[in-house]
């Protein structure tokens, strides 16, 4: 099945099973804004807990905060967001559709990558096990031609971005003959900068009202609180501050479901270090964050680092952790060495001394900062994409199953009485009343057992137990494993010990140490 179709299925699966709904659905939705349903909120909370605990529980030098969404507007002047938090946009004059110029060019780069991938796959099929990919890539004429064009485009694009050269971005679009996907024409406007921050007014009187912004990142709430936390928490460098919260960006092009939203959630951690030590810490955090992702078992080959061609105005090193979505490798997390830019700017704009006194060195300095910043929604999407599975079973029957990591699954155990009578529902309720203190259980008595299994498979429940007449006599149930569909008879008294460990975030966290 084409990856595009797989993605469409995932989007409709998310709606059908209570994971994600379009915002304001009965009013036909609101562009790039989504609501999480009864299953989605559980998965999202589990992702957040996994992240939070991995930061705050596992590191005795990292603490959390929860800062306000509204902040003093000067903060955004100091951080550079008022002047430089822009995307280059371009309009097609025929379709009147607006695009990000950089995204159009990156899509073109991906097309070259696709062509190369297809050539390599074709050759792999033809030559079988004896296929030497490296040799093929360096000798095949067509691959070399695509690669040369790609590299030249990449070099030209990176230069234009670094020099903020909007005319050159437009020229690249013209030279590459990139067309509007709607009108099919190359009738493009100039490229212009567009600021992504939402603003509103605070205060009631017209002369007393102040223009404030909805934060486009949670990080600034950490920077302006760093000294409060350092002093009250008696933190010594190196130390970190973690935060989970909403961020808002007026994205020009809303695309790919919850991948690019106008209201989304970030999990950010700023790690304050001695000047000169930042690149060592940058590498440490790169490694730690990749390990956190891989521990979920979604497949190591689905991750890669992508080092930035154009560094943000605040960074001296930056990389993305990309995940292979059905629409290609895409950024899920950014790791940035932000230098002392933000703290120095806040010192300058606030006029307050926010230097750190290092008792070991007996000197004051502005700390350097390593940031890890991951979008909850993108993480959610990557988990969904990797877990969605359509399987053909023996006998030709098919099932849709979400093979979610057990620790993240919204429901851990489905409890199903074989029939709705003879005391079986009461026994099933008894089991839930015992286990619900340990993990999330769901009771279901409607339809055949087979249909109920399918419903639990579709929401990703790792275990189901069936309560039958025999249960009333021997206090045993049949447990069914989601992925293997294997069934076994176990004592009710053993259920907690069989399941709790496998579905707990704690066991996932233990793999990180
Ligand atoms: N404080 C640094 C910062 O905000 P970023 O690379 O702009 O860096 C960090 O964003 C992460 O936030 C991204 O890797 C992505 O997961 C998430 N993110 C950014 N914009 C988003 C959007 N419009 N919709 C959903 N997630 C987004």
155-196: pLDDT as tens digits = 999 999 888 899 999 999 999 999 999 999 999 999 999 999
**Is the domain of 106 the same as that of 247?**
no
Ligand 1 center to 266 CA (angstroms): 7
For the chain, the average pLDDT equals 95
**Is the domain of 53 the same as that of 130?**
no
**Is the domain of 249 the same as that of 107?**
no
Give phi and psi for 249, each to the nearest 5: -140, 135
**Which of 193, 218, 246 is the last residue before a domain boundary?**
193
**Is the domain of 178 the same as that of 247?**
no
**Is the domain of 258 the same as that of 355?**
yes
Complete DSSP assignment for 367-414? PEEEEEEEEHHHHHHHHHHHHEEEEEPTTS-EEEEE---TTT-S-SEE
| Ligand 1 binding pocket includes 266 (Cβ within 6 Å) | yes
| Ligand 1 binding pocket includes 452 (Cβ within 6 Å) | no
pLDDT band at 206 (very low <50, low <70, confident <90, very high): low
Looking at the domain assignment, is residue 176 inside a domain?
Answer: yes
**Is the domain of 138 the same as that of 260?**
no
HEC sequence for 69-104:
CECCCHHHHHCCHHHHCEEEEEEECCCCCEEEHHHH
- Which residue's alpha carbon is nearest to atom 27 within ligand 1? 375
Tell me which residue range forms the domain holding 117: 86-193
| Ligand 1 binding pocket includes 332 (Cβ within 6 Å) | yes
**Is the domain of 45 the same as that of 158?**
no
| Ligand 1 binding pocket includes 269 (Cβ within 6 Å) | no
Looking at the domain assignment, is residue 342 inside a domain?
Answer: yes
**Which of 352, 373, 394 is the last residue before a domain boundary?**
373
- Please report the atom of ligand 1 found closest to the CA of residue 378: 16
Q: Which helix (H) or strand (E) holds 49?
A: helix 38-52
- Please report the atom of ligand 1 found closest to the CA of residue 216: 4
For residue 401, the tally of other CB atoms under 10 A from its CB is 21
- Which residue's alpha carbon is nearest to atom 12 within ligand 1? 375
**Is the domain of 104 the same as that of 25?**
no
Task: Tally the domains of the chain.
Answer: 3
| Ligand 1 binding pocket includes 249 (Cβ within 6 Å) | yes
CATH number at residue 91: 3.30.40.230
Q: Average pLDDT, stretch 216-240?
A: 98
Q: What per-residue confidence (pLDDT) applies to 162?
A: 83
**Is the domain of 95 the same as that of 225?**
no
Looking at the domain assignment, is residue 24 inside a domain?
Answer: yes
DSSP code of residue 355: P
Ligand 1 center to 88 CA (angstroms): 17
pTM above the 0.95 mark?
A: no
Ligand 1 center to 353 CA (angstroms): 30
Q: What per-residue confidence (pLDDT) applies to 203?
A: 87
């Amino acid at each position: 099945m084409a990856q595009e179709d797989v993605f469409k299925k995932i989007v409709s699966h998310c709606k059908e099973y209570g994971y994600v709904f379009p915002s304001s659905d009965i009013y036909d939705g609101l562009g790039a804004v989504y609501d999480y349903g009864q299953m989605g909120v559980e998965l999202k909370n589990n992702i957040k807990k996994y992240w939070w605990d991995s930061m705050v529980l596992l590191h005795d030098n990292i603490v959390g905060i929860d800062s306000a969404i509204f902040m003093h507007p000067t903060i955004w002047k100091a951080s550079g967001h008022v002047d430089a938090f822009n995307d280059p946009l371009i309009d097609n004059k025929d379709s009147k559709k607006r695009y990000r110029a950089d995204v159009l060019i990156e899509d073109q780069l991906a097309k070259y990558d696709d062509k190369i991938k297809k050539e390599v796959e074709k050759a792999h099929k033809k030559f079988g096990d004896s296929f030497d990919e490296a040799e093929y890539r360096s000798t095949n004429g067509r691959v070399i031609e695509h690669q040369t064009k790609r590299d030249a485009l990449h070099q030209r694009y990176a230069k234009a971005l670094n020099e903020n050269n909007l005319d050159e971005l437009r020229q690249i679009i013209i030279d590459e003959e990139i067309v509007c996907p709607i009108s099919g024409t190359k009738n493009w406007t100039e490229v212009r900068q567009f600021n992504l921050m939402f603003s509103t007014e605070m205060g009631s009187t017209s002369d007393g009202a102040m223009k404030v912004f909805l934060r486009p990142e949670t990080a600034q709430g950490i920077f302006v609180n760093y000294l409060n936390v350092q002093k009250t928490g008696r933190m010594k460098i190196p130390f970190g501050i973690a935060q989970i919260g909403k961020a808002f960006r007026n994205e020009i092009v809303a695309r790919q479901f919850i991948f690019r939203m106008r209201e989304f959630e970030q999990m950010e951690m700023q790690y304050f270090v001695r000047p000169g030590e930042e690149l060592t810490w940058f590498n440490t955090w790169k490694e730690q964050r990749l390990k956190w992702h891989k521990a979920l078992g979604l497949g190591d080959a689905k991750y890669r680092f992508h080092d930035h061609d154009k560094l943000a105005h605040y960074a001296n090193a930056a990389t993305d952790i990309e995940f292979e979505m059905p629409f290609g490798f895409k950024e899920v997390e950014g790791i940035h060495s932000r230098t002392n830019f933000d703290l120095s700017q806040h010192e300058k704009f606030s006029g307050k001394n926010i230097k750190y006194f290092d008792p070991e060195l007996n000197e004051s300095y502005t700390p350097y900062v390593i940031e890890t910043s991951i979008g909850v929604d993108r993480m959610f999407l990557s988990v969904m994409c990797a877990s969605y599975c359509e399987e053909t079973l023996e006998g030709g029957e098919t099932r849709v199953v979400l093979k979610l990591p057990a620790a993240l699954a919204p429901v851990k155990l489905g409890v199903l009485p074989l029939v709705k009578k003879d005391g079986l529902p009461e026994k099933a309720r008894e089991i839930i009343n015992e286990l619900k203190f340990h993990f999330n259980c769901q009771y279901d008595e409607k339809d055949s057992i087979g249909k109920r299994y399918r419903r639990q498979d579709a929401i990703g429940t790792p275990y189901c137990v069936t309560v039958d007449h025999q249960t009333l006599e021997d206090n045993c149930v049949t447990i069914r494993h989601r992925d293997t569909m294997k069934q076994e008879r176990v004592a009710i008294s053993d259920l907690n010990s069989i399941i709790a460990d496998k579905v707990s975030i704690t066991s996932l966290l233990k793999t990180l140490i």
